[in-house]
Amino acid sequence: MSSPTTNRVALVTGGSGGIGRAVAERLARDGIAVAIHYAGRKEKADETVQAITAEGGRAIAVGGDVADEAAMATAFDAVESAFGGLDVVVHTAGIMVLSPIATLDLNDLDRVHRTNIRGTFVVDQQAARRVREGGAIVNFSTSVTRTQLPTYGAYVASKAAVESLTLILARELRGRDVTVNAVAPGPTATPLFLDGKDENTVDRFAKATPLERLGQPGDIAETVAFLAGPARWVNGQVLFANGGLA
């Protein structure tokens, strides 16, 4: 990793593993100081911090429930205290419960919506108050809002709400020079996607894209790095990073 060439600072929620970790490490390679957020896996967040600092980057770990406004205010405070401000917020944290709508436990529905909708609202609210001029806010949706796969009802409903929040916040921040976008990954080789799927199912998802492979966390991280850095004219958009999945 090259020496830092920027004073920009990023907070990545859910940065302890999967896509979040890939995003944190990719932003660090651009010289951005990164705060790795975790909810319950501090040791994983610490591993990400160590990987970044070992390459000459700047990183800290911050904890908290994304749906708890007090906890997230404290996490944002910690980032600003450590690095002097905040320029980029990437909100990857989320959960997924799969079930047909007819049989879904409504407690699971509430849990998904608390993390994915309220959590996004809480993080975006803090980001809207704190991100500096020239900054970027990046939320996470899913390509299943287009593919409409059975059993994804609760998850897709939550992510459709995330897309709406994203587009409205972009317009509410008029005049601030802060972009707000969402990334909608397709099937990506992470524990969240692979858990509970047999090999045939995974192969079917891989072959569904014209590129005939699953996405990798690094593929999604490149999209985020674009939105967090040079993409100053991309605002109020949902970018589908899915290898051409319909």
SS3 track for the chain = CCCCCCCCEEEEECCCCHHHHHHHHHHHHCCCEEEEEECCCHHHHHHHHHHHHHCCCCEEEEECCCCCHHHHHHHHHHHHHHHCCCCEEEECCCCCCCCCHHHCCHHHHHHHHHHHHHHHHHHHHHHHHHCCCCCEEEEECCCHHHHCCCCCHHHHHHHHHHHHHHHHHHHHCCCCCCEEEEEEECCECCHHHHCCCCHHHHHHHHHCCCCCCCECHHHHHHHHHHHHCCCCCCCCCEEEECCCCC
Q: Tell me what pLDDT residue 193 has.
A: 77
Sign of CA dihedral 187, 190, 193, 199: positive
The structural domains of the chain, with segments of one domain joined by +, span 9-240
Q: Which two structure tokens, joined as six digits, stand for 111?
A: 């849990």
Predicted confidence (pLDDT) at residue 122 exceeds the cutoff of 80: yes
Q: Are 48 and 59 in contact (CB under 8 A)?
A: yes
CA separation for the pair 163, 237 (Å, rounded): 9
pLDDT tens digits for range 170-209:
999 999 999 999 999 998 888 777 777 778 888 888 888 8
Fold of the CATH domain 9-240: Rossmann fold (3.40.50)
Q: Tell me what pLDDT residue 53 has.
A: 97
Per the annotation, the verdict on 155 as an active-site residue is: yes
Global pTM reads: 0.94
Question: Average pLDDT, stretch 106-117?
Answer: 98
Among 155, 193, 205, 240, the active-site one is 155
Confidence of residue 125 (pLDDT cuts 50, 70, 90): very high
Q: Tell me what pLDDT residue 33 has.
A: 98
